[in-house]
Amino acid sequence: MTTRWGLSSEDCYGVVRIVRRPKIRPSIPRCAAAALLAAGLALGAEVDSARLDRAVDEPENWLTYYGTYESWRYSPLDQINRSNIEQLRPLWAFESGVTDGGLQAAPLVVDGTMYVSTAWNHVFALDAATGEQIWRYDYPKPDQIPGTYGTWNRGVAVAYGLVFMGTLDNHVVALDRETGKEVWRVEVENSKQCGCNITAAPLVVKDLVITGVTGGDSAHRGYINAFDARTGRHRWRFWTIPGPGEPGHDTWAGDSWVYGGGSTWVTGTYDPELDLLYWAVGNPAADFYGGDREGDNLYTDSVVALDPDTGEIQWHYQQIPHDVWDYDTAYEMVLLDLEVDGVMRKTMLNPSKSGYVWLLDRQSGEFLGAWPLVESSNWIEGIDEQGRLIGRNEPPVGETSFVCPAIGGGRSWNHGAYSPQTGWFYSTGLEWCQTLTVRQEDPQEGLAFFGGEFEMAHPKSGKAHAHLSAYDPVTGERKWRIRHKYPLLASQLATAGGLVFSGDATGRFFALDASDGSELWSFRTGSGHRGSAIAYAVGGRQYIATPSGWGSALAGLTTQLWPEAEHFPSGSSIFVFALP
């Protein structure tokens, strides 16, 4: 038989409306994956926890937000490769018509069907080979949403015959995967009161759908919630800011914990072998003024490991105690088995808004190292061998100071990629700064709570810019770098074809040689890139799909440094490419 690669062989919050995988290896044997497909084990079956645990064995699909729980954003497909990339052509495009906020999502592909969400919580099911629309879901437009966090949505999850999405008014909805009809909906917390909502893709673990929340820049107390995937019944809540009597509560002065921030606004991940759920937690509130919240402010700017069945914390690692720079530890956690100091370790690579990347032991939370993504950095002098911050440069209250990186971070939330072929981690970096004036501010529940004012600025060394680089994940040694004039705010995708895909603010979608960073191919999609490209296959043909649609609060800030960015066109399209 020929495969598709041509190879042979108990309490609820709100009202609910009801209407073992293999050890991570450095590479994926193609013949083993082909044999699995030939046996028909992966095709057409329900997406359940077993399939999600073994998503790495289904390279024709993109089953989870990051592709697999490892968060590599890597595809073992190699039909499209360095030798033929010049022949890559657009095959189809889908325009959602929802351009407000751009398109920041990562599409999913399950057995030939693509699922993608847009701003204002629309969901589309498309034929992944042709782009033909199968169904469309339109979430009722709320009469009011938290103004701080925009209209965008970054993705959905698929399991148990359902498609899950978090909403702008802080609900979770489940849709019938075949028809798009709503099956259940649950309110997590009243968004008008909390000033929070859900913009990240949910994560399905076992029989649970798990979501984070925004609110880190508001007077709000963050959390992670788990719901029964089939019914929507609430199963557990983990508060990222410990309350009275809980470990870590003493790291907050007075009642500052009540509105302490600690949002969980980027999708977490899961290790089935260790049975640990990982989530990265954002900044404390107020963002810049820390005078009313003396202490380390747990679990802000921390990675937390939870028991997925109960939500009980197993370990934590705090990167930035008492953050006064708004440097969230909110980004992806890349699960890698790496040799560190001569010993194989189960590690986790976590880039941060601070412009640093942390390497942790994912079994214990032990600090293994940290290295910088950017050169424009003056908030600390460095990080020592124990993970302690050296030479903290805390902005003084009532005075204007010059801080690098800027509020947009040394990198945005858009995710890096890891290739087992090269053993390198590919990530963007943002070289920009800000002037910051810190002010005391009293919290008002659900309203913005920054504790300061900022304005974007060029680094003192030259013009602000971005770069995409390849790094050794343990040492941070840079292998190559390419520079871009405008901020790079799209995710990277690495493939077994020796390629790295990404997109820029002007609408160029491009492919680089993973070994040296040389550009091999590009295509203009008409609008800038803010989302996450994926790779998949249908009927023996490999496809590359990318969202195209410039927008977001961060995109809006770019006009302070590049006035011409005001005229960058918005959009909301999916472009799909294949070989002739």
What residues are labeled active site?
Answer: 326
Asked whether the beta carbons of 200 and 281 are under 8 A apart, the reply is: no
3-state DSSP assignment of residue 119: helix
Task: Report the run of H or E that residue 123 belongs to, with start and end.
Answer: strand 122-127
258 CB contacts (<8 Å, ≥6 apart)?
221, 443
Which of 134, 126, 88, 129 has its CA nearest to residue 107? Answer: 126
Instruction: Return the SS3 of 72.
Output: coil
Phi, psi at residue 128, to the nearest 5°? -70, -15
Identify whether the C-beta of residue 341 lies closer than 8 Å to the C-beta of residue 356. Answer: no
Using the 8-state DSSP alphabet, how is residue 128 labeled? T
Alpha helices per DSSP H over 141-295? 191-194
Question: What is the side-by-side strand order in the sheet with 541-548?
Answer: 89-95, 573-578, 541-548, 534-538
Q: Rounded distance, CA 120 to CA 198, Å?
A: 11
> Are 374 and 430 a contacting pair, CB within 8 Å?
yes
- Total residue count of the chain as it appears in this document: 580
Task: Give me the residue label for tokens 């343990």.
Answer: 474
Residues 6+ apart with CB under 8 A from 535: 62, 75, 77, 80, 493, 495, 542, 543, 544, 545
HSE, side-chain direction, 13 A CA sphere, residue 299: 28
Return the bridge partners of 284, or none. 261
CA–CA separation, 201 vs 154, rounded Å?
6
Residues 212 and 265 sit within 8 Å (Cβ to Cβ): yes
Q: How far apart are CA 117 and CA 154, in angstroms?
A: 7
Bridge partners of 296, per DSSP, are none
Cis amide linkage into residue 299, ω under 30° from 0: yes
Q: Are strands 203-205 and 182-187 parallel, antiparallel or unpaired?
A: unpaired
What is the bridge-based pairing of β-strands 223-228 and 133-138? unpaired
Q: Could you give the CA distance from residue 409 to residue 316 in angstroms, rounded to a whole number? A: 23
Beta strands in 262-409 (DSSP E): 269-271, 276-280, 302-306, 313-318, 334-340, 343-351, 356-361, 367-372, 382-383, 389-390, 400-403
Q: How many CB atoms lie within 10 A of CB 307?
A: 14
The one-letter code for the residue type at 547 is: P
The rounded distance, in Å, linking the Cα atoms of 310 and 143 is 34
